[in-house]
Amino acid sequence: MKNLRAASVLAAGLGFSFLLTSCTPTPPAQPSPPATSSDGPSTPSPSTYSSAEPAGAAAPTGTPRVVSSGIQAPWSVVFRDGKALVSERDSARILELAKDGSSRVIGTVPGVAGAGEGGLLGLAVDDHGRLYVYSTGAGENRIQRFDITGESGALALGAADSILDGIPSASYHDGGRLAFGPDGMLYATVGDAGQADQAQDLDSLGGKILRMSADGDVPNDNPFDGSLVYSYGHRNPQGLAWAQDGTMFATEFGQNTWDELNIISAGANYGWPTVEGIDDAEGFTNPVQQWTPDAASPSGMTHIDGTLFIANLRGSVLRAVPVADPATSTDHYVGEYGRIRDVTVTPDGELWFLTNNTDGRGTPGPEDDRILGVDLEQE
* Residues contacting 113, CB < 8 A, separation 6+: 136, 137, 138
| Separation between Cα atoms, residue 52 and residue 46, nearest integer Å | 14
- Are 135 and 114 in contact by the 8 Å Cβ rule? The answer is yes
Is the peptide bond prior to 25 cis by the omega test (within 30 degrees of 0)?
no
Strand-pairing partners, residue 65, are: 373
Q: Which of 201, 92, 80 is nearest to 144 (CA)?
A: 92
**The CATH number fitting domain 2-18+42-378, selected from 3.60.20.10, 3.40.50.720, 2.120.10.30, 3.10.450.350:** 2.120.10.30
Q: Which of 372, 303, 308 is nearest to 340 (CA)?
A: 372
- Are 19 and 27 in contact by the 8 Å Cβ rule? The answer is no
Tens-digit pLDDT profile for the chain (379 aa)? 444 443 333 333 333 333 323 333 333 344 444 333 333 333 444 555 666 665 668 999 999 999 999 999 999 999 999 999 999 999 999 999 999 999 999 999 999 998 999 999 999 999 999 999 999 999 999 999 999 999 999 999 999 999 999 999 999 999 999 999 999 999 999 999 999 999 999 999 999 999 999 999 999 999 999 999 999 999 999 999 999 999 999 999 999 999 999 999 999 999 999 999 999 999 999 999 999 999 999 999 999 999 999 999 999 999 999 999 999 999 999 999 999 999 999 999 999 999 999 999 999 999 999 999 999 998 7
DSSP 14: B
Question: How would you classify residue 274: left for phi > 0, otherwise alpha for psi between -120 and 50, otherwise beta?
Answer: alpha
| Separation between Cα atoms, residue 362 and residue 90, nearest integer Å | 15
